[in-house]
Chain A
Amino acid sequence: MAFLIQGRVFGLVCLLFIMAAVAYYIKRAQAGVVPKVRRIPGIDAIDESIGRAVEMGRPVFCSHGIATLRDATAGPQTIAGLSVLNYVAKRCVAVGAKIVVPVRQPEVWPIAADIVETEYKLAGKGAEFDPECVQFLSSQQFGFSSSYMGLMMRDKPGANIMVGAYWAESLQLSETGARIGAMQITGTAQTSQIPFFLVTSDYCLIGEEIFSAGAYLTNDAMLIASLAGQDVGRIFAVLLGLLGAIVMTVGSRIFLDLFAM
């Protein structure tokens, strides 16, 4: 198979295996067998935080991170953040809360603006959509961070929801949110930033939980089924890890050869 690139065959097999598992569970869901998903308190609290902001007469801030959509590791986090934004916008429109979406990447701005505007239109409130609510702040990391902090200090949001990829600005944003008394729900798969979010926010989605948020919030049977397929991949990875540790301990190179295929 000359057209296959050496060293990547095993990765392709793993990808196909996970895809097959996802497809299998989707097929089952279509037949009416939908797997049960454990409750994720952080996602459940989104409605509560929006309700709290409405009661306080304050806006809701919702950020999808500072990454582009193109990055291999951070891009999926931005997509997950946009899924959360979709839900938050829907709820804000339904209960009449003002939503503010700070944006760092110009290429993501039209998508975020379209998501929020469409939710207003779907609710028959298209005229109430304020284009200023989705703001491009700065493409500079700390320009974005200082603008976001300034917005929070001036607008005093009742809820600050941040799900996506964040770097050094994560603590600045969440700590500012904590100082102004906003109910904060944060989430990221950036391992270096998770501790900062954990200590400063009310609820924190850790790692993979942000990728499940879209499925969880929409309660779509097919999406939830795909989570079960993902779990098969997880079990597979754990088994590979254990087997790898054992065979390397006994001095076998079988796994190394397998990965080098």
Chain B
Amino acid sequence: MKMGEVLKRIEIPIALTIIATLLQVLPYYFDIPALSSVASTTTNAVLLIVAYATFVGVISILLVHGKRVQRRSEGWHFSILVVVFVAIMVLTGLPLQEFGLGTNNSIFNWIFTYILTPLGGTTYSILAFFITSAAVRAFKARNIEAAIVLVSGTLMVMGNAPIFTNSVPVLADISLWIRNIPNMATMRGVMIGAALGAVALAVRTLMGIERGYLRGGGGDE
């Protein structure tokens, strides 16, 4: 069998996953310095791989938006902006401080502070409108479950608004009860279930039978 074919075998990523998982799990339970050292080296290697993966992201952006500009697809002007700003951020952010580049570069900082951060804040703030429209959709008593959501949601809103709690103080107690008793019980149930599901997934991964994240579901091509 040729080397290229050997490297393509599905057993290799499965074995790597099992080894990497064991290297993270075992030092958590066992105090074996040599094992901890290997696990630490692996963690650092992963960080390096992740850092390199950033370039994959940049390449993907340039390919997608480059083609969009080339084809003059709908909104291609915006793709030019994306490509230009990616280029500026990559070039000015290069870790070459002797040339005035890097994260302290004034252009890099200006774009980060006055464009990227406000845009992120703006996108986050529009969540308020999404919550309102989702609430309108949810607050329709179509069935008994929806009616429970409607009533408890209304009580929660009223219990957290001073205009209501000032005149009807018991509303604050009711909303507190809803949050601390039925809501907390449900959330804990979901959290315990999810944690167990994650453990079972880890066990399946550790045993090499969870292969859904691999190409073709982990089957041989």
B-contacting residues of A (Cβ < 8 Å)?
2-5, 8-9, 11-12, 15, 18-19, 22-23, 26, 68, 70, 73, 76-77, 79-80, 82-84, 86-87, 90, 103, 105-107, 109-111, 114-115, 117-119, 121-122, 131-132, 134-136, 139-143, 145-146, 154, 168, 171-172, 175, 178-179, 189, 191, 194, 196, 198-200, 206-212, 214-215, 217-218, 220, 222-223, 226-227, 229-230, 233-234, 237, 241
Contact = CB atoms under 8 A, between A and B. Distances in A.
B11 to A, nearest CB: 16
Given A4-B29, A109-B60, A214 B212 contact: yes
A226 B200 contact: yes
A12 B29 contact: yes
Contacts of B192: 234, 237, 241
Per CB-CB distance, the 3 closest pairs between chain A and chain B, nearest first, are A83-B212, A208-B197, A106-B57
B31 A110 contact: no
Nearest to A200: B134
Contact of A226 (B25, B60, B63, B209): B209
Interface of B: 25, 28-32, 46, 49-50, 53-57, 60-61, 63-64, 67, 74-75, 116, 119-120, 123-124, 126-127, 130-131, 133-135, 137-138, 149, 187, 190-194, 196-207, 209-210, 212-217, 221
Contacts of A8: 28-29
Nearest to A173: B130
B145 to A, nearest CB: 10
A110 B56 contact: yes
A230 to B, nearest CB: 4
A194 to B, nearest CB: 7
A140 B116 contact: yes
A196 to B, nearest CB: 7
Contacts of B133: 175, 179
Nearest to A23: B207
10 contacts: A3-B32, A4-B30, A4-B31, A5-B28, A76-B201, A136-B57, A136-B61, A171-B127, A189-B194, A208-B194
